[in-house]
C-alpha cells in the first residue's frame, strides 16, 4: 500500500502509461491526426510537376513506447533521404523550384499534428484506453 501522495501519484502515472501503451485508442488518434495533416498540409498544398507522389508519407507513421509514454514519428525515407524531415522543414529538396511551385517550402505536418492533438482528442482517446484497462476516469 502506498505511504504518501508521491507514491500514489507514481502508481497512477505508471498505470496510465501502461494503458496508453497497451490499448489502441491513443495511438490510433495520433496516427489518424498525422495522416490528416499529411493530406491537408502536404498533399493538398500543391500537385507536383516534376515527380509522382507515392503517398508513402501518409503511411509512414510509427508509434514507439517510451519510458515516459509514447511518441509519434514519421519514418518516410527514399534512398537514404529523410523525406519526412525534408517536407517538414523545407530543407533538402532535390527538385528546383524555378516556377515558384512550392518545392522547398516547409509543410510542418508533424508540428501541426502536435498542435491539433491539444484540442482534446488525445485526452478523449487516453480516457478510452484507461477505461479499457479498468481505470475509471471522469
**Mean pLDDT confidence for 31-35:** 98
- Answer for the pair 73, 62: CB distance below 8 angstroms, yes or no: yes
Of 71-80, 99-108, 110-119, the one with minimum mean pLDDT is: 99-108
Determine the Cα–Cα distance for residues 37 and 112; give it in Å rounded to an integer.
7
The model scores a pTM over 0.85 = yes
Contact 49, 98 (CB under 8 A): no
Report d(CA 35, CA 25) in Å as an integer: 15
pLDDT band at residue 99 using 50, 70 and 90 as cut-offs: low
State the pLDDT at residue 103.
Answer: 64
pLDDT, the chain, mean: 90
Phi then psi for residue 44, to 5 deg, are -80, -10
pLDDT tens-digit series, residues 39-56: 999 999 877 777 788 899
| Set of cell numbers at residue 73 | 514519428
Is the distance from CB of 110 to CB of 74 less than 8 angstroms? Answer: yes
- What torsion, rounded to 10 degrees, do the Cα atoms 13, 15, 17, 18 define? 160
Amino acid at each position: 500500500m502506498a505511504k504518501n501522495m508521491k507514491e500514489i501519484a507514481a502508481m497512477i502515472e505508471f498505470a496510465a502509461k501502461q494503458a496508453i501503451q497497451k490499448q489502441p485508442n491513443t495511438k490510433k488518434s495520433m496516427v489518424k491526426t498525422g495522416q490528416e495533416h499529411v493530406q491537408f498540409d502536404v498533399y493538398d498544398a500543391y500537385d507536383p510537376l516534376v515527380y509522382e507522389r507515392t503517398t508513402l508519407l501518409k503511411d509512414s507513421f510509427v508509434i514507439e513506447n517510451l519510458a515516459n509514454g509514447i511518441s509519434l514519428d514519421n519514418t518516410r525515407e527514399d534512398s537514404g533521404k529523410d523525406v519526412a524531415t525534408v517536407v517538414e522543414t523545407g530543407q533538402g529538396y532535390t527538385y528546383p523550384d524555378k516556377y515558384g511551385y512550392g518545392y522547398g517550402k516547409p509543410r510542418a505536418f508533424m508540428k501541426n499534428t502536435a498542435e491539433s492533438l491539444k484540442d482534446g482528442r488525445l485526452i478523449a482517446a487516453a480516457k478510452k484506453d484507461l477505461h479499457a484497462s479498468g481505470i475509471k476516469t471522469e
